[in-house]
Amino acid sequence: MDSNIRLPKTKVGYKSFYKIIEVSKELFRVKGVSTTSVNEIIEKAEVATGTFYNYFDDKLAVYKYLLDDYSTIIRKRIYDAIRTVETRYEKERIGIKTFLEFAREDKLSYRIIWESLFIDQRLFVNYYTNFSNAYVNQLAYAVKGGQIKDNIDLKTLSFMLMGIANFVGLQVVFEGDLSDEELDKITDQIMYVLKNGMFT
């Protein structure tokens, strides 16, 4: 689990660094991490072998950077979308819709994130544990404000909500290119169940 990175010190260095990241992302998405070699990354990124190892200990270091990056990008997109919204209900709706849009756009993101399960299970556990912790904080705040019922265990609720977003995200990936209107309708279905339950 060492597999460290060293950030560049120059603008030119950053150019190579991001080139390596971009090329790796594409290779990991299409071929998977386990079947991509450092040599392929170096060749496609058109950097010297030494340049690669200046910044990354190994392939796993690149992968860990990308996984962190996904976590940051997804959370930032959701945060930006919901931060000016008032109610928790609306925050949840827009947060879920933003996640579904992300799944529609980046159909292979699941591959990169879930491959952690095969590379080092701790990466997978950390990824979703961190996501759950952040979710619990948000939900706790809404409970305090009286917007979410105060008798639900928030850890389990966070896993439920992540599960809903991820699996309806799979539905979105499976169905191909859905329109914004269709995504809105799917989001409404989710919100209806979260608001009113599914049983009569």
Contact residues: a copy of itself, CB under 8 A? 32, 34-35, 88-89, 110-111, 114-115, 117-118, 125, 128-129, 132, 146-149, 151-153, 155-157, 159-160, 162-168, 170-171, 174, 185-186, 189-190, 192-200
Nearest distance in Å: CB 107, a copy of itself: 10
Nearest distance in Å: CB 161, a copy of itself: 8
Measured from the CB atom, the residue of 48 and 117 that comes closer to a copy of itself is 117
Measured from the CB atom, the residue of 10 and 196 that comes closer to a copy of itself is 196
Measured from the CB atom, the residue of 43 and 175 that comes closer to a copy of itself is 175
Nearest distance in Å: CB 143, a copy of itself: 9
Which candidate, 131, 122, 113, 118, places its Cα nearest to that of 1?
Answer: 122
Nearest distance in Å: CB 53, a copy of itself: 24
Q: Which long-range contacts (CB under 8 A, 24 or more apart) does 71-77 make?
A: 71/127, 71/130, 71/131, 74/99, 74/102, 75/131, 75/134, 77/102
Measured from the CB atom, the residue of 61 and 115 that comes closer to a copy of itself is 115
Nearest distance in Å: CB 139, a copy of itself: 9
Q: How many CB atoms within 10 Å of residue 197?
A: 8
Measured from the CB atom, the residue of 46 and 153 that comes closer to a copy of itself is 153
Structure tokens at 48: 């010297």
Measured from the CB atom, the residue of 84 and 174 that comes closer to a copy of itself is 174
- CA distances (Å), origin 8, targets 13, 22, 52, 100, 162: 5, 16, 11, 34, 35
Nearest distance in Å: CB 155, a copy of itself: 7
DSSP designation for 5: B
